[in-house]
A and B are shown apart, each in its own frame.
Chain A
Amino acid sequence: MSSIGYAPSLSGQKAASAQSAAMPRRRRKLHRASEPFTLVSYVSVSIFGLFCLIPLWMIIAGSLTDESALARTGYSFWPQPFSLTAYQLLFSGQSLFGGYAASLFITIVGTALSVYCTGSLAWVIARRLPLVSRPLTIFSYIPMLFHGGLVPLYLLVTQVLSLTNSWFAVILPIMMAPFLVFVAVSFFRQLPEEVIDAARIDGAGELRIFFQIVLPLSKPILAVLALFYAVTYWNEWFMPLLFLSDPDRYPLQLILQNLISNVTNAAALPGATAAQAAAPVYQLRFAMTVLTIGPILLAYPFAQRFFVKGITLGATKG
Chain B
Amino acid sequence: MANFRINRRHFLALSGAAGMAAMSGGLSRSMAQGLSGTSLAVLPSQAPSNWKAVLEKANAALQAEHGFTLDAQFINWSNYGQQALLKFTAGAQFDTALQALWLNMAQLQQDGALADLSGQLDKWPNLKAQIAPKLLESNTWNGKLWGIPQVNSAARVQHFTIRQDLAEKHGFGEISDYDTLERFFYTIKEKEDGITPYSLVSNSHWIYAVPTPTAMFNQHSWENPYTMQYLFAGSGLRFLFAKDAATTGSSHPIPFWEDEGVIAALRKIRQYYNDGIVNADGMNVDRATVDSQFQAGRFASNWAMTDGTSSNQLVNLQRNIPEARLAQVMPFGKPLTAVKPVQTFQADNMVVVNANGGDVDRALALQDWLSVKENHDLIEYGIEGTDWEPAGDDGINQLSQYAFPGYALLWRSGLERRSSFMTESEKTVFDWAQNYDNFTTDTFASFIPDVTPVREAAAAMNNAIIQHANPLFYGVADVDSQLDKLKSAADAAGLDVLQAEMEKQADAYLKSRA
Q: Is the CB of B405 within 8 A of A265?
A: yes
In-complex Cβ contact of B46 among A258, A274, A277 (8 A): A258
Q: Is the CB of A271 within 8 A of B288?
A: no
Q: Is the CB of A265 within 8 A of B77?
A: yes
Interface string of A78-100 (1 = CB under 8 A from B): 00000000000000010000000
Q: Is the CB of A262 within 8 A of B45?
A: yes
Q: Is the CB of B47 within 8 A of A247?
A: yes
Answer whether A264 and B288 are a contact pair too, CB < 8 Å, given A274-B315, A278-B319.
yes
Q: Is the CB of B76 within 8 A of A277?
A: no
Q: Is the CB of A155 within 8 A of B90?
A: yes
In-complex Cβ contact of B400 among A67, A159, A273 (8 A): A273
Instruction: Specify which chain A residues have a CB less than 8 angstroms from the CB of B359 in the assembled complex.
Output: none
Tell me the smallest distance from the CB of A10 to a CB of chain B, in Å: 83
- In whole angstroms, how far apart are the Cα atoms of A52 and B75 in the complex? 35
In-complex Cβ contact of A242 among B86, B293, B297, B314 (8 A): B86
In-complex Cβ contact of A276 among B90, B295, B403 (8 A): B403
B150 at the interface (CB under 8 A from A): no
A-B contact count (CB 8 A): 131
Q: Is the CB of A265 within 8 A of B45?
A: yes
B425 at the interface (CB under 8 A from A): no
Chain B, interface SS category: mixed
B416 at the interface (CB under 8 A from A): yes
Instruction: Specify which chain B residues have a CB less than 8 angstroms from the CB of A278 in the assembled complex.
Output: 295, 315-316, 319
In-complex Cβ contact of B312 among A67, A272, A281 (8 A): A272
Q: Is the CB of B293 within 8 A of A151?
A: no
B78 at the interface (CB under 8 A from A): yes
- Nearest neighbor of A92 in chain B, beta-carbon distance: B401
- In whole angstroms, how far apart are the Cα atoms of A281 and B286 in the complex? 11
Q: Is the CB of A277 within 8 A of B78?
A: no
Q: How many B residues have CB within 8 A of the partner chain?
A: 56
- In whole angstroms, how far apart are the Cα atoms of A63 and B32 in the complex? 57
Instruction: Specify which chain B residues have a CB less than 8 angstroms from the CB of A150 in the assembled complex.
Output: 86
In-complex Cβ contact of B49 among A93, A269, A270, A282 (8 A): A93
In-complex Cβ contact of B416 among A68, A264, A270, A274 (8 A): A270
A124 at the interface (CB under 8 A from B): no
A7 at the interface (CB under 8 A from B): no
In-complex Cβ contact of B45 among A159, A261, A273, A281 (8 A): A261
A177 at the interface (CB under 8 A from B): no
Answer whether A257 and B288 are a contact pair too, CB < 8 Å, given A154-B86, A278-B315.
no
Instruction: Specify which chain A residues have a CB less than 8 angstroms from the CB of B319 in the assembled complex.
Output: 68, 278
B289 at the interface (CB under 8 A from A): yes
Most chain B CB inside 10 Å of its own CB: which residue of A259, A262, A273, A280:
A273
A237-259 residues at the B interface, CB under 8 angstroms: 241-242, 245, 247, 257-259
Q: Is the CB of A272 within 8 A of B296?
A: no
Q: How many A residues have CB within 8 A of the partner chain?
A: 40
Instruction: Specify which chain B residues have a CB less than 8 angstroms from the CB of A158 in the assembled complex.
Output: 90, 92
A72 at the interface (CB under 8 A from B): yes
Q: Is the CB of A68 within 8 A of B398?
A: no
- Nearest neighbor of B46 in chain A, beta-carbon distance: A262
Q: Is the CB of B295 within 8 A of A71?
A: yes
A127-175 residues at the B interface, CB under 8 angstroms: 150-151, 154-155, 158-159
B386 at the interface (CB under 8 A from A): no
Instruction: Specify which chain B residues have a CB less than 8 angstroms from the CB of A270 in the assembled complex.
Output: 152, 307-309, 312, 406, 416-419
- In whole angstroms, how far apart are the Cα atoms of A158 and B87 in the complex? 11
A267 at the interface (CB under 8 A from B): yes
Q: Is the CB of A258 within 8 A of B398?
A: no
Answer whether A268 and B309 are a contact pair too, CB < 8 Å, given A247-B74, A258-B76, A281-B289.
yes
B272-289 residues at the A interface, CB under 8 angstroms: 287-289
Instruction: Specify which chain B residues have a CB less than 8 angstroms from the CB of A265 in the assembled complex.
Output: 44-45, 77, 403, 405
In-complex Cβ contact of A72 among B77, B297, B403 (8 A): B297
Tell me the smallest distance from the CB of B150 to a CB of chain A, in Å: 13
Instruction: Specify which chain B residues have a CB less than 8 angstroms from the CB of A214 in the assembled complex.
Output: none
A231 at the interface (CB under 8 A from B): no
Q: Is the CB of B401 within 8 A of A71?
A: no
In-complex Cβ contact of B83 among A69, A70, A241, A267 (8 A): A241
Q: Is the CB of A277 within 8 A of B83?
A: no
- In whole angstroms, how far apart are the Cα atoms of A32 and B157 in the complex? 77
Instruction: Specify which chain A residues have a CB less than 8 angstroms from the CB of B83 in the assembled complex.
Output: 241-242
Instruction: Specify which chain B residues have a CB less than 8 angstroms from the CB of A277 in the assembled complex.
Output: 312-316
B89 at the interface (CB under 8 A from A): yes
Answer whether A68 and B320 are a contact pair too, CB < 8 Å, given A270-B416, A270-B419.
yes
A215 at the interface (CB under 8 A from B): no
- Nearest neighbor of A265 in chain B, beta-carbon distance: B45
- Nearest neighbor of A72 in chain B, beta-carbon distance: B296
Tell me the smallest distance from the CB of A55 to a CB of chain B, in Å: 18
B396 at the interface (CB under 8 A from A): yes
B292 at the interface (CB under 8 A from A): yes
A266 at the interface (CB under 8 A from B): yes
Interface string of A265-305 (1 = CB under 8 A from B): 11111111111111011100000000000000000000000
Instruction: Specify which chain B residues have a CB less than 8 angstroms from the CB of A275 in the assembled complex.
Output: 401
Tell me the smallest distance from the CB of A256 to a CB of chain B, in Å: 10
Instruction: Specify which chain A residues have a CB less than 8 angstroms from the CB of B288 in the assembled complex.
Output: 264, 281
Answer whether A271 and B381 are a contact pair too, CB < 8 Å, given A277-B312, A277-B315, A277-B316.
yes
Q: Is the CB of B86 within 8 A of A151?
A: yes
- In whole angstroms, how far apart are the Cα atoms of A206 and B470 in the complex? 64
- Nearest neighbor of A246 in chain B, beta-carbon distance: B73
B79 at the interface (CB under 8 A from A): yes
Q: Provide a sorted-by-A list of 7 A–B residue pairs whose CB atoms are within 8 angstroms.
A: A72-B320, A158-B90, A265-B45, A265-B405, A270-B419, A274-B315, A280-B292
**Contact residues of A with B, CB < 8 Å?**
67-72, 93, 150-151, 154-155, 158-159, 241-242, 245, 247, 257-259, 261-262, 264-278, 280-282
4 closest A-B pairs by beta carbon, nearest first, are: A71-B296, A266-B403, A262-B46, A261-B76
- Besides A72-B296, A271-B380, A271-B417, 12 new A-B residue pairs in contact (Cβ under 8 A), listed by A number: A71-B292, A71-B296, A72-B297, A154-B86, A258-B74, A261-B76, A262-B403, A265-B44, A266-B401, A271-B418, A275-B401, A281-B289
